[in-house]
Amino acid sequence: MKVAYLLAFLVVVLLSSCGKDVAQKDASGLSVESYSYITNSEAEDFFNKNVGPNINKFCKLCHANPAPTYTDAKKMIVAGKPQESKLYLKATGQDNHKVVWAAGTEKAENLRKWIEMEQ
């Protein structure tokens, strides 16, 4: 019996230390991964692959690109908080800006995920 409790305890410890919290939910109620294990270079790579090209393509259609680089984009966010980030609010049609990507679309979700990845 003691062995069973010990094994159960070890499983819980191992699972809790893996860096992911799959039960966490975002504001929309969707399950998301905890990004606490992401390094800055991983966040930058995610930005350069999934966010930066969209900002470059869509923002400059109407005005100069406000975030042409990763460093510039970081100045327009509150790390880990999309709903407080000027870039996310503008892109999703909030903050007196037209909708560029509707919330919940792939492009908006990539922007949200990147902001959440930043620490």
Based on the fold, state whether residues 97 and 66 are members of the same structural domain. Answer: yes
pTM: 0.68
Determine the Cα angle at 106 with ends 48 and 17, to 5°: 70
Based on the fold, state whether residues 44 and 10 are members of the same structural domain. Answer: no
Q: Are 24 and 34 in contact (CB under 8 A)?
A: yes
pLDDT tens readout for residues 35-87: 445 567 999 999 999 999 999 999 888 888 788 899 999 999 999 999 999 99
Percent of the chain with pLDDT strictly greater than 90: 54
Based on the fold, state whether residues 24 and 45 are members of the same structural domain. Answer: no
Only one residue has tokens 């992401």, namely 38
* C-alpha closest to that of 19 among 47, 38, 45: 38
Position 99 pLDDT exceeds 90: yes
In one-letter notation, the amino acid at residue 29 is G
Mean pLDDT of 4-31: 44
Based on the fold, state whether residues 55 and 8 are members of the same structural domain. Answer: no
Identify the domain containing residue 3 by its residue range.
Answer: 1-34
Based on the fold, state whether residues 88 and 30 are members of the same structural domain. Answer: no
Count of domains forming the chain? 2
Per-residue confidence band for 11, with pLDDT thresholds at 50, 70 and 90: very low
Based on the fold, state whether residues 11 and 25 are members of the same structural domain. Answer: yes
Q: Are 67 and 76 in contact (CB under 8 A)?
A: yes
